[in-house]
Structure 1
Amino acid sequence: MLYEHLGARPRIHDTAVIAPTAVISGDVVIGANCQVLHGAVITAEGGPITLGDHVIVMENALIRATAANAVHIGDHTLIGTLASIAGATVGDEVFFASGARVFNGSVIGPRCEVRVNAIVTRRAVLPERTVVPIGWVAAGDPVRLFSPDQAEEIAAAQPDLDFPGHVFGVDRDTPDLMVQLTERYGSSLARHAHDVQL
């Protein structure tokens, strides 16, 4: 299903194949010979999304851009089932395995691998050919890789994380943080009420 969002329509190359149950919304450009499979969601929430050529987006994967963080996916990249990419720049020939998670502001260099259930934290920068092992966490610039049992080290590697401030514009110390966050974000998402199915 294709949707116009905030006045922007998806632009899809005529050789790309989009499954009828995929959702493509807003300022999205999909290049030649791309495949977007059933249940995948590609949604430009105020920022643009560009998929290069020969990109495969598997079932139920999510790609989301924000006003603060656009998304660019390089050529010959595969995004596995249930993977999610939010506001990231991705080089050519990258492999995201099932369940991989990539957060806002991160940069994934060419020919990297983010394996099953691995996480790339916000603003992490992966040099070319970096491999994030199954279930591991990549954090920082320069990037450091952590096993899932290193919670304290992961937290220390990203002291300026401030996810509520960066993504939602709400100070983490606000007494009613979740009230502020959900009301602001809900108001932003409510803009979908005026989307037009194409």
Structure 2
Amino acid sequence: MIYEHLGARPRIHDTAVVAPSAVISGDVTIGENCQVLHGAVITAEGGPITLGEHVIVMENALIRATAANPVHIGDHVLVGPMASISGATIAEEVFLATGTRIFNGAVIGERSEVRINAVVHLRTTLPPETVVPIGWVAVGDPVRILSPERHEEIWEAQHELDFPGYVFGVDRSTPDLMVQLTERYARSLARHLEDHAL
């Protein structure tokens, strides 16, 4: 389904194919010969999303932009099933495998691979041709690529990146952090009440 959101309508190239059960919402540009498969959601939540040419977005993948973090995906990128991209820049010829998670402000360099269930954290930059192994976590700039059992090192880097402050504008030390975060985020998401199916 195609939706107008915040007054913006998706622009889909005539050669692109979007499955009937995919959702495309808002300021989204889908380039030549792209394929968006069943269950995929591409939603521009106040910031634009641009897919270059020959981008494949597989089943149940999620691509979300925010006002602070637009999404740009270069040519010849494959976004695997159940992958998630939030407010990131993906260069050309990148492979994002099944279940990968790419967070706000991340930059993925050309010909990089983020393998099954791997994570590229908030404001992390992967240089060109970087590989993040299955289930591992890439964090920081300069990047550190760590196995999941190295939680303390991952948390140390994550803490400095300030996820609640950067993404939601809420200080982590706020006593009612989740109350503030969910109420603020819910108000933002409620803007979908005015969406129109096209």
Q: Same fold (TM over 0.5)?
A: yes
Q: Aligned pairs, how many?
A: 198
Over the residues paired in the alignment, what is the CA RMSD in angstroms?
Answer: 0.7
2:102, 2:120 within 8 Å by CA — same for their partners in 1? yes
Q: Residue type of the partner of 2:115?
A: R
Instruction: Give ranges in structure 1 of 5+ residues lacking alignment.
Output: none
Tell me how far apart the structure 1 counterparts of residues 81 and 193 of structure 2 sit (CA, whole Å): 28
Please, what TM-score do these two structures have when normalized by structure 1?
0.98
Percent of aligned pairs with the same residue?
Answer: 76
> Could you tell me which residue of structure 2 aligns to residue 62 of structure 1?
62
Compare 88-97 and 168-177 and name the one that shifted more: 168-177
Tell me how far apart the structure 1 counterparts of residues 189 and 5 of structure 2 sit (CA, whole Å): 11
Q: Does 1:155 align with 2:155?
A: yes
> Could you tell me which residue of structure 1 aligns to residue 91 of structure 2?
91
Instruction: Give ranges in structure 2 of 5+ residues lacking alignment.
Output: none
Question: Relative to 1, partners in 2 of residues 1:157 and 1:170: Cα closer, same or farther, differing over 3 Å?
Answer: closer
Tell me how far apart the structure 2 counterparts of residues 106 and 45 of structure 1 sit (CA, whole Å): 17
Tell me how far apart the structure 1 counterparts of residues 42 and 71 of structure 2 sit (CA, whole Å): 10
Kindly state the Cα deviation for residue 153 of structure 1 after the two structures are TM-superposed.
1.1
Match of 1:8, SS state, is coil
Kindly state the Cα deviation for residue 176 of structure 1 after the two structures are TM-superposed.
1.2
> Could you tell me which residue of structure 2 aligns to residue 44 of structure 1?
44
Q: Does 1:126 align with 2:120?
A: no
Match of 1:85, SS state, is strand
> Could you tell me which residue of structure 2 aligns to residue 28 of structure 1?
28
Tell me how far apart the structure 2 counterparts of residues 66 and 135 of structure 1 sit (CA, whole Å): 26
2:140, 2:161 within 8 Å by CA — same for their partners in 1? no
Q: Residue type of the partner of 2:169?
A: G
Tell me how far apart the structure 1 counterparts of residues 158 and 195 of structure 2 sit (CA, whole Å): 37
Match of 1:154, SS state, is helix
> Could you tell me which residue of structure 2 aligns to residue 169 of structure 1?
169
2:11, 2:30 within 8 Å by CA — same for their partners in 1? yes
Q: Residue type of the partner of 1:166?
A: Y
> Could you tell me which residue of structure 1 aligns to residue 145 of structure 2?
145
1:90-141: per-residue Cα shift (whole Å, max 9, x none)?
0000000000000000000000000000000001100000000000000111
1:55-83: per-residue Cα shift (whole Å, max 9, x none)?
00000000000011000000000000000
Question: Relative to 1, partners in 2 of residues 1:171 and 1:157: Cα closer, same or farther, differing over 3 Å?
Answer: closer
Structure 1 segment 66-85 matched on structure 2, within 5 A: 66-85=66-85
Q: Residue type of the partner of 2:59?
A: E
Please, what TM-score do these two structures have when normalized by structure 2?
0.98
Kindly state the Cα deviation for residue 157 of structure 1 after the two structures are TM-superposed.
2.7
